[in-house]
């Protein structure tokens, strides 16, 4: 087994070749048909790769089609106002991805062509080593190995690497393994096959080794260590935060505030209780939880009537809300209050109706 701090792993050429052959044969049979796999258009592949960062395939699918319908190429994305791009992204989370996509589209549009080499792709805003390698290999057939969380897991098991998967040294070692294994004749397909194996067979808790095309080549499987790897240092417990959001409505208009800085810059939010001192709390809608990286929010939502409205807030007609980039917490709070109002109405109706 490879230990933390061990030098690079070397894989014998015959083993590499066998692994490529089995993996690609399996992929041609077992792959899921996904819209970004039916194209070599670098723009479409790039949009998919950005959306798929930290987001599940099932969550991305409806956004992907809608986004491409609205922004079918870099020029249309570059020409759109940022607010419209954020509105199309609202609900997918990690909004810096949408801002970077928009900024990068402007660069591509002004350059007049999509970058077609690794260095130029990597220079785009929001494009890291992973995305540059994915677009370079899938769209342009360039020999760059893609290493995401799924691939790291597969490689740690294949080579029985017991290093902490979160440590830079382990990642560098596995990146080198990925580059050795890469099929240079079909780099895009090979990368997608390894990612697919991690997403559908070599699962985090229960790897389906009996159905795995690499079972006979897998060192962790040979040693019976497949469920123990990869090793990961436990993160600390998330920070718990409790807040109260206020739903304030007058004549069909909702009081909102636009964020101008930070992760949610450009998004509209409901006021928090502390921002409107003296507001009268009218009725509770309910509460919900919202987790972001290491923070676990418990959000109480209350219909309220403010004593006064400080600068920085705006009254937005309800009808405009679907076209605005609303923060996820605001969307969840509005849905909660709508649900509570509906429940009150049904209760009233059932009380009034004769038995
Ligand atoms: S044999 Fe099991 S542990 Fe090894 S790569 Fe396949 S699914 Fe993963």
- The secondary structure of 169-209 as a DSSP string is HHHHHHHHHHHHH--TTSHHHHHHHHHHHHHHTS-SSS--G
Q: Are residues 180 and 253 in the same domain?
A: no
Q: Are residues 192 and 277 in the same domain?
A: no
Residue closest via CA to ligand 1's atom 1 equals 215
- Pocket test of ligand 1: the residue of 155, 174, 194, 201 to mutate, having most ligand atoms within 8 Å of its CB, is 201
The burial class, CB within 10 Å (0-12 / 13-18 / 19+), for 158 is buried
Ligand 1 interacting residues, C-beta cut-off 6 A: 154, 157-158, 201-202, 207-209, 212, 214-215, 218, 220-221, 226
CATH code of 193's domain: 1.10.340.30
Is the residue at 231 inside a domain?
Answer: no
- Pocket test of ligand 1: the residue of 152, 209, 210, 223 to mutate, having most ligand atoms within 8 Å of its CB, is 209
Average pLDDT estimate for 302-312: 89
Q: Is the peptide bond before 230 cis (omega within 30 degrees of 0)?
A: yes
Check whether 216 has a pLDDT greater than 80: yes
Looking at the structure of the chain, the number of domains it has is 2
Q: Given this model, what pLDDT does residue 5 score? A: 46
Check whether 344 has a pLDDT greater than 50: yes
- Contacts of 306-310 with C-beta under 8 Å, sequence gap 24+, read 306/246, 306/248, 306/255, 306/271, 306/276, 306/278, 306/279, 306/280, 307/276, 307/277, 307/278, 307/279, 307/280, 308/278, 309/255, 309/276, 310/275, 310/276
Rounded to an integer, what distance in angstroms lies between the CA atom of residue 278 and that of residue 272?
12
Residue carrying the six token digits 């007609």 = 317
Neighbouring residues of 32: CB distance < 8 A, sequence distance ≥ 6: 57, 196, 200
User: What residues pair up with 258 in beta bridges, in sequence order?
Assistant: 268
Average pLDDT estimate for 43-56: 95
Check whether 3 has a pLDDT greater than 60: no
Check whether 205 has a pLDDT greater than 50: yes
Average pLDDT estimate for 242-266: 92
Is the residue at 6 inside a domain?
Answer: no
Q: Are residues 187 and 328 in the same domain?
A: no
Confidence of residue 355 (pLDDT cuts 50, 70, 90): low
Is the residue at 69 inside a domain?
Answer: yes
- In this prediction the pTM is 0.74
Residue closest via CA to ligand 1's atom 4 equals 218
Q: Are residues 218 and 245 in the same domain?
A: no
DSSP tag of 231: B
The rounded Å distance from CA 218 to ligand 1 centre is: 6
Note the pLDDT tens digit of each residue in 102-161.
999 999 999 999 999 999 999 999 999 999 999 999 999 999 999 999 999 999 999 999
Q: Given this model, what pLDDT does residue 7 score? A: 54
Find the domain containing 144 and state its range.
13-223
Given the residues 8, 17, 33, 49, the one annotated as active site? 49
Q: Are residues 75 and 191 in the same domain?
A: yes
Q: Are residues 67 and 205 in the same domain?
A: yes
Q: Given this model, what pLDDT does residue 220 score? A: 96
Residue closest via CA to ligand 1's atom 8 equals 202
Which contiguous run of DSSP H or E holds residue 100? helix 96-111
Average pLDDT estimate for 181-207: 97
Q: Are residues 203 and 109 in the same domain?
A: yes
Q: Given this model, what pLDDT does residue 1 score? A: 43
Strand 295-305 and strand 239-247: pairing? parallel
| SS3 state at 274 | helix
**Would you call 49 a catalytic residue per the annotation?**
yes
Rounded to an integer, what distance in angstroms lies between the CA atom of residue 281 and that of residue 303?
6
Mean pLDDT, the chain, rounded, equals 92
Rounded to an integer, what distance in angstroms lies between the CA atom of residue 137 and that of residue 142?
4
Check whether 8 has a pLDDT greater than 80: no
Q: 187-200 and 168-181 helices cross at what angle (nearest 10)?
A: 130
Phi-psi region of 326 (alpha: psi -120 to 50; beta: other; left: phi over 0): beta
- Pocket test of ligand 1: the residue of 162, 210, 212 to mutate, having most ligand atoms within 8 Å of its CB, is 212
């Amino acid at each position: 087994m490879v230990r933390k701090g061990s030098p690079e792993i070397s894989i014998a050429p015959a083993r590499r070749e066998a692994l490529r052959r089995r993996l690609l044969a399996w992929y041609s049979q077992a792959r899921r048909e996904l819209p970004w796999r039916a194209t070599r258009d670098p723009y479409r592949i790039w949009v998919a790769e950005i959306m798929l960062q930290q987001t599940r395939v099932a969550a991305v699918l409806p956004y992907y089609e809608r986004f491409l319908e609205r922004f079918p190429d870099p020029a249309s994305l570059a020409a759109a106002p940022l607010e419209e791009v954020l509105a199309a992204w609202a609900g997918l989370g990690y909004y810096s991805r949408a801002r970077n996509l928009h900024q990068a589209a402007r660069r591509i549009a002004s350059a007049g062509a999509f970058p077609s080499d690794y260095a130029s792709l990597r220079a785009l805003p929001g494009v890291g080593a992973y995305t540059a390698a994915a677009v370079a290999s899938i769209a342009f057939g360039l020999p760059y190995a893609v290493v995401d969380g799924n691939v790291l897991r597969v490689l740690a098991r294949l080579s029985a690497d017991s290093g902490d998967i979160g440590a830079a040294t382990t990642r560098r070692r596995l990146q080198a393994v990925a580059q050795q294994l890469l099929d240079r004749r079909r780099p895009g397909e090979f990368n997608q096959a390894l990612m697919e194996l991690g997403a559908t067979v070599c699962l985090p808790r229960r790897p389906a080794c009996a159905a795995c095309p690499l079972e006979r080549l897998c060192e962790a499987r040979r040693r019976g260590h497949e469920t123990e790897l990869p090793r990961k240092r436990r993160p600390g417990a998330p920070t718990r935060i409790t807040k109260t959001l206020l739903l304030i409505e007058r004549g069909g208009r909702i009081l909102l505030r636009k964020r101008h800085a930070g992760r949610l810059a450009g998004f509209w939010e409901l006021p928090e209780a502390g921002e409107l001192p003296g507001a009268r709390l009218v009725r509770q809608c309910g509460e919900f939880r919202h987790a972001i990286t290491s923070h676990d929010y418990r959000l109480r939502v209350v219909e309220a009537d403010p004593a006064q409205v400080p600068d920085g807030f705006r009254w937005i007609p309800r009808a405009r809300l679907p076209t605005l980039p609303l923060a996820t917490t605001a969307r969840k709070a509005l849905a909660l209050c709508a649900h509570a109002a509906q429940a009150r109405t049904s209760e009233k109706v059932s009380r009034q109706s004769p038995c």
